[in-house]
A and B are shown apart, each in its own frame.
Chain A
Amino acid sequence: SQQGEEDPQALSIQEGENATMNCSYKTSINNLQWYRQNSGRGLVHLILIRSNEREKHSGRLRVTLDTSKKSSSLLITASRAADTASYFCATDPFEGAQKLVFGQGTRLTINP
């Protein structure tokens, strides 16, 4: 089944730096969503970007979507220790089974 692929699989940066995570997917989508998961807990929704949108902001988060390249990026600016978590992209496919399909995630570690 279609699945987003996050890149990199793991990322470690210093507090205060910016973190960028990428997501690629295979088929046309209605929307793409980003979620955060702290270790062993539930997922928290961050941003939903629709296929006709190119960029969305929420606080220190910036998400871009390039449907021609079938890719999205999540930028976290001025990172904090509390941003340490796994980040997942999830796609809502335009065709086929209507369900959110999650990627494998990027493990982000913010070092103090």
Chain B
Amino acid sequence: KAGVTQTPRYLIKTRGQQVTLSCSPISGHRSVSWYQQTPGQGLQFLFEYFSETQRNKGNFPGRFSGRQFSNSRSEMNVSTLELGDSALYLCASSQYPGGKTEAFFGQGTRLTVV
């Protein structure tokens, strides 16, 4: 079974630009969660999608948004990038929403904002 695939792996953007990250979950998984990881804040929950509906959202500004498609693939978008958005963005898929079952993580997208 293929794992969770995140693209791209690395990204360099300029302040003010926008970026879209992609996540393909494990086949059969309908829940996709996104996390931001930084050295100072650790792993911060961004949002979770299940069956194309956002079930949960973390404490991030509206510049951070996401969506999920009918094939469970998910994208997250960050608009008007700030230097502080530099981070490792991790996507996780699971069979069920919430934290009820184990989550399978992708390798992450390393975003650098300059």
Contacts and interface: CB of A to CB of B under 8 A. Distances in A.
Interface of A: 1, 30-31, 33, 35, 40-45, 48, 88, 90-93, 97-105
Contact of B97 (A44, A45, A98, A101): A98
B42 A102 contact: yes
Interface residues of B, number: 28
A35 B101 CA distance: 13
A88 B48 CA distance: 20
B55 A98 contact: yes
Interface of B: 4, 6, 33, 35, 42-43, 45, 48, 55-56, 58-59, 88, 90, 92, 97-108, 110
Nearest to B101: A48
- Which secondary structure dominates chain A's binding surface? strand
Contacts of A31: 99-100
Contact of A41 (B42, B48, B59, B108): B108
A33 B4 CA distance: 19
Contacts of A44: 105
10 closest A-B pairs (Cβ-Cβ)? A92-B99, A98-B98, A100-B99, A42-B105, A102-B43, A45-B102, A43-B105, A42-B107, A104-B42, A99-B56
A48 B102 contact: yes
B109 to A, nearest CB: 10
8 contacts: A30-B99, A41-B107, A42-B107, A44-B105, A99-B48, A100-B33, A101-B99, A104-B42
Nearest to A90: B99
Nearest to A50: B100
